[in-house]
Amino acid sequence: MIGHGFMGAAHSQGWRVAPRFFDLPRAVEMAVVVGRNAQAVADAAAKWGWAESATDWRAVIARDDIDVVDIVTPGDSHAEIAIAALQAGKHVLCEKPLANTVAEAEAMTEAAERAAERGIRSMVGFTYRRVPAATFARDLVAAGRIGDVRQVRAEYLQDWLSDADAPLTWRLQKDRAGSGSLGDIGAHAIDLAEYITGLHVERVSGILETLVAERPLMAEGIGLSGTASSERGAVTVDDVALFTGRLSGGALASFEATRFRTGRKNALRVEVSGSTGALSFDLERMNELEFYDATAPDTELGFRRILVTEHDHPYLAPWWPTGHMLGYEHGFSHQVVDFVTAIADGTQPRPSFGDGLHIQRVLDAVERSSEHGSAWLDVE
């Protein structure tokens, strides 16, 4: 695993726990975690259960004993690491968004397609697909339980930047992160809406806004930790992204991504309205799904709550008895299960780098639309 911040902890949890609850077709050894600071990455290895640590990712991917490379670094290094790993014959799992630009995502996808010809697999980490309630929502739509999809509303709402004096982290710098709320959390909203409906965003009209233009620099360098200094630096990404979209098949969609929605901590929400029903998912109530059957008698109409904890629900059989809840970290275990199974079966895991490229093109179209007065633009 290359990188060891917030996502490093989440991915480590997934790699460590999945083999202990699921019967994986391949044994998993957490061989080495890589970071720039030798002491920090050594501490991460000891804390999360990696056998060793290293500071040179190029040397690690050249090793014969490494089969999989898991990339959890900021977006500005995804392309370089992923392409090198694929060329070295390693299966690659890369955190979302796939890259910082369409050109980088295209290069990564081309490398993945060439590697696939040699049996090398790659996947992008849109983990919320693997929350059981979200997966079950996808299954209901695919089974025709809400009829033809007519309208979709997807939003990802957080408030951790609502304090104007919160420090300038790498997520607020375009050269490191690629974009702000749009790419960081908006990418999840787009992917989950497409995953649940089976449709794709084809046209967009959007607007991006930066609400706080400058923030305190970190006294110990710009990062996720340290003490804020009296100096301030420019925020070069969006704080809020709002856009509408036309989906394949003609359905309409609205999207919002913000890290300024005061009071909302991690509210990823998708509501899908169809010709014979509707469903609604909210990550802050991640073990539940709301379902509306428009074909029921008038006296029985209304959204009903489905508790998604049954063993017949997606991913849940190996876990706890019915009614015992899962949490945020379980999606990363499910990601490991799907990735390792695809590698063993010789099939393409999803979402593929090609899927990640499509999301990158949507992000790019929204950004260009905002630059041109919210003009409607084609995604591809």
Q: Are residues 139 and 280 in the same domain?
A: yes
Q: Could you tell me the CATH number of the domain that includes residue 256?
A: 3.30.360.10
Q: Could you tell me the CATH number of the domain that includes residue 99?
A: 3.40.50.720
Distance of CA 112 to the CA centre of its chain: 19
Name the one residue in this structure whose structure tokens are 């379902």. Answer: 291
Given a contact cutoff of 8 angstroms between Cβ atoms, the answer to whether 60 and 67 are in contact is no
* 95, part of any domain: yes
Q: Are residues 154 and 115 in the same domain?
A: no
Q: Are residues 164 and 89 in the same domain?
A: no
> Which residues 6+ apart lie within 8 Å of 42 measured at CB?
53
Res 228: pLDDT = 60
Q: What pTM was estimated for this model as a whole?
A: 0.95
Q: pLDDT tens digit string along 134-187? A: 999 999 999 999 999 999 999 999 999 999 999 999 999 999 989 999 999 999
Q: Are residues 140 and 260 in the same domain?
A: yes
Number of domains in the chain: 2
Res 380: pLDDT = 81
* 359, part of any domain: no
Range of the domain at 226: 129-326
> Which residues 6+ apart lie within 8 Å of 39 measured at CB?
none
| Residue 372 main-chain phi, psi, to 5 deg | -115, 40
What mean pLDDT, rounded, does the chain reach?
Answer: 96
Walking along the chain (380 residues) 10 residues at a time, the average pLDDT comes out as 96 98 98 98 98 98 98 97 98 97 98 98 98 98 98 97 93 92 97 98 98 87 52 95 97 97 97 98 98 97 98 98 97 98 98 98 98 96
Q: Are residues 320 and 174 in the same domain?
A: yes
Given a contact cutoff of 8 angstroms between Cβ atoms, the answer to whether 243 and 205 are in contact is yes
Q: Are residues 271 and 148 in the same domain?
A: yes
* 379, part of any domain: no
